[in-house]
Amino acid sequence: MIKSEKDYHVILERIEDLLSSPENIENPEAKGFIELNILSDLVADYEEAHFPVLPPTLPEAIKLRMHELGLSQKALSDYLGISSSRISEYLNGKSEPTLKVAREISRKLDIEASIVLGV
């Protein structure tokens, strides 16, 4: 278990050293392979506890999907069947979608309902 930020940084440096040797990545029998896996698990546990990844906000999720799908704000409004100004309000966090629109956003953009509903 990593107990301090100093320990965390020392272990990160050791992981970088271990990653510099292809054998430590490719050969499960290598001593470095085992050490790399153990240290990686320790770092993952520490990061999960100290640097949690929060779910995206609705505006962040919509912007990401727009980018991934190559949609402009106008194209998104046409795709969802709502006005561009309403899309703008969602993207700026000025308003939240109605339940009907939230369902369409979740279904058509494949965004988890919990993110769309903010729960």
Query: What is residue 14's predicted lDDT score, i.e. its pLDDT?
Result: 97
The dihedral through the CA atoms of 86, 89, 93, 95 has a sign that is: negative
Give the confidence band of 17 by pLDDT, cuts at 50, 70, 90: very high
Indicate if 30 and 65 belong to the same structural domain.
Answer: no
- Rounded to the nearest integer, the mean pLDDT of the chain is 94
Tokens representing residue 52 in the block: 């949690």
Determine contact, residues 49/41, Cβ cutoff 8 Å.
Answer: no
Q: How much is the pTM?
A: 0.65
Average pLDDT on 20-39 reads 91
Same-domain status, 27 and 73 = no
Mapped onto helix, strand or coil, the DSSP state of residue 95 is coil
* Average pLDDT score over residue span 92-105: 93
User: How many domains does the structure of the chain reveal?
Assistant: 2
Give 95's Cβ-side CA count (13 Å radius): 10
The pLDDT score that the predictor gives to residue 78 is: 95
Domain that holds residue 66: 58-117
Same domain, 40 and 81: no
Task: Please tell me the distance from the alpha carbon of residue 77 to that of residue 83, in angstroms, as a whole number.
Answer: 6
pLDDT tens per residue, range 77-87: 999 999 999 99
